[in-house]
Chains A and B, each alone.
Chain A
Amino acid sequence: SAVISQKPSRDICQRGTSLTIQCQVDSQVTMMFWYRQQPGQSLTLIATANQGSEATYESGFVIDKFPISRPNLTFSTLTVSNMSPEDSSIYLCSVLPSSGNTIYFGEGSWLTVV
């Protein structure tokens, strides 16, 4: 499986600010995704990060709030914009390797908005 590095691993953010989370993979992968896991909840797909083009967002998530970049096959960023306490969650990067159907997760970025 791919080695996925996410940073920051944890942060406390002020209301109204924005934070960018980085995801780096040690090998080229077919697809990269961003998930959100609110406290005690399941994993919800935010968007698919497309290499060299705009991300594909799921219902309920918009580019203005969660801008995503993927400049190459091994790196992606997710920005959480204009944060409110409701954005306090774990944000997880995940990847689909070139072979197989299974996605693997990064260690997650734990954001607390105060």
Chain B
Amino acid sequence: GENVEQHPSTLSVQEGDSAVIKCTYSDSASNYFPWYKQELGKRPQLIIDIRSNVGEKKDQRIAVTLNKTAKHFSLHITETQPEDSAVYFCAASRGLGDMRFGAGTRLTVKP
């Protein structure tokens, strides 16, 4: 089955700096890669996603890149703000909704 690895497990940046979180997946049939943000005590919320026919997608301060050949994808957050502090999860799916999640990255943005 699919195995998703995520790095780093914790990340601390200064406000205004960029943050990058990386994930790799094992199932070449995976074609959908969402990123979720989970604040303490709340449900995971989708922040951005990318499909396998696209190499990059951007939404304001966040962007995701996908390298299908290498089976890895990354989340980029620019101009980080304290409210970006949360746990971020990457996931991979064959498009049927059965997501496999990475272990999570705890991002701390210091004011």
Contacts and interface: CB of A to CB of B under 8 A. Distances in A.
Interface string B41-76: 011111001010000000000000000000000000
20 contacts: A31-B96, A42-B103, A43-B99, A44-B101, A45-B98, A45-B100, A59-B1, A92-B43, A92-B44, A101-B32, A101-B49, A101-B97, A102-B34, A102-B49, A103-B34, A103-B97, A103-B99, A105-B45, A106-B43, A108-B43
B43 A30 contact: no
A92 B103 CA distance: 16
Interface of A: 30-31, 33, 41-45, 48, 59, 92, 94, 96, 101-108
A-B interface, 8 closest residue pairs, ranked by CB to CB distance from nearest: A96-B97, A105-B43, A101-B32, A43-B101, A31-B97, A42-B101, A42-B103, A103-B97
Nearest to B4: A42
Contacts of B89: 42-43
B82 interface: no
B8 interface: no
A48 B46 contact: no
Given A42-B102, A101-B97, 4 more contacts: A42-B103, A42-B104, A96-B97, A105-B45
A61 to B, nearest CB: 13
Nearest to B32: A101
Contacts of B34: 101-103
Given A42-B102, A45-B100, A101 B43 contact: no
B44 A45 contact: no
Interface string B15-59: 000000000000000001010000000111110010100000000
Given A33-B98, A101-B32, A101-B49, A43 B44 contact: yes
Contacts of A42: 89, 101-104
Contacts of A106: 43
Nearest to A95: B97
A105 B54 CA distance: 25
Nearest to A45: B98
